Amino acid sequence: MNHIELKISCQSNYSEILMAELSNIGFDTIEENDDGFNAYLLEGDFDKNLLDPVLEQYSSHITDWKLKTIQKENWNAKWEENYDPIIVEGKCIVKATFHAIEKHFPYEITINPKMSFGTGHHETTYQILDLLTNIDCKDKIVMDAGCGTGVLAIMAKLKGAKLVEAFDIDDWCIDNSQENFNLNDCNNCHVQLGAIAQLHFDSEFDIIIANINKNVLLDEMEIYSNHLKSNGTLILSGFYMDDIADLEKKANQFGLTFVSNTTKNNWAAGIFIKE
């Protein structure tokens, strides 16, 4: 499936507000630059009728904007042109197959990103990778909801997870995740196509990871809780610091207690425990 790219040039003090507004209407990948940012979503999820009111509301603060469709086959070339390895707090490196790395790290992940979100560069993925380095995954059953490249599932497996169940609504992500599982010799990492409400799992989970966006997290909070073991850990990201209160309120309705959060450039990641 193709992606829609929205290039926004705007006043710097409105950049975060606009990114939050676009996240609320489905744009789930954002790259910041000197003039503003680029936002992406699947072509099938794009609704111009939702975008137009946002552009109109902030028209006095937007200096320029452009929409473009990115073909599947062009996405990998785009990443290779701009993609550098990412090192997470000196403990983990995420690199592509074309990178030659001399220094070794405790956790090394190799991916071909293609069209999938999850290279480690975005603040949300970076924070979850960092959190996972400090979470006990040994012999745990882990879910990666909205897996993208599968990078978080791979990290959980490197940390000793017994089984990882990953899924995404984009068929391209399924192929990409499976390829990346193979690249990293990840056994017992399974990937399925579909949303969580459509899928069946044989076991409850010790750890659930969901790096999506605020609206999806709120909608699926009850399902995460239902799939999580007692005293299990839920790791969420894809939202801003200002959203934590809303997520905590929703989580509390389903027996999930907020434990802690991290933040990076106003993007947040939070840990919840099922009582």
Please give the CATH number for the structural domain made up of 122-274: 3.40.50.150
Whole-number average pLDDT of the chain: 90
CB 235 within 8 A of CB 204: no
Tokens of 182: 């193979």
Tell me the domain boundaries of the chain.
3-70, 122-274
pLDDT at 24: 86
The answer to whether 157 and 186 have CB atoms below 8 angstroms apart is: yes
Range 20-38 average pLDDT: 85
- Confidence at residue 226, expressed as pLDDT on a 0 to 100 scale: 97
| Residue 79 amino acid letter | W
Class of domain 3-70: alpha beta
Report pLDDT digits (tens) over 225-255: 999 999 999 999 999 999 999 999 999 999 9
Is the pLDDT score of 75 beyond 80? no
Strand 205-211 to strand 189-193: parallel, antiparallel, or no bridges (unpaired)? unpaired
- State how far the Cα of 214 lies from the Cα of 28, in Å rounded to an integer: 10
CA separation, residue 50 to residues 6, 27, 155, 245 (Å): 13, 11, 35, 25
Distance in Å from the first CA to the final CA of the chain: 40
DSSP collapsed to 3 states, 7-34: EEEECHHHHHHHHHHHHHCCCCEEEECC
On whether the CB atoms of residues 222 and 254 are closer than 8 A, the answer is yes
Cβ distance 189 to 179 under 8 Å? no
Q: Tell me the C-alpha distance between 213 and 58, whole Å.
A: 22
Q: Is the pLDDT of residue 91 over 70?
A: yes
Q: Say whether 32 sits in a helix, a strand or coil.
A: strand
Determine the Cα–Cα distance for residues 187 and 163; give it in Å rounded to an integer.
Answer: 8
> pTM above the 0.85 mark?
no
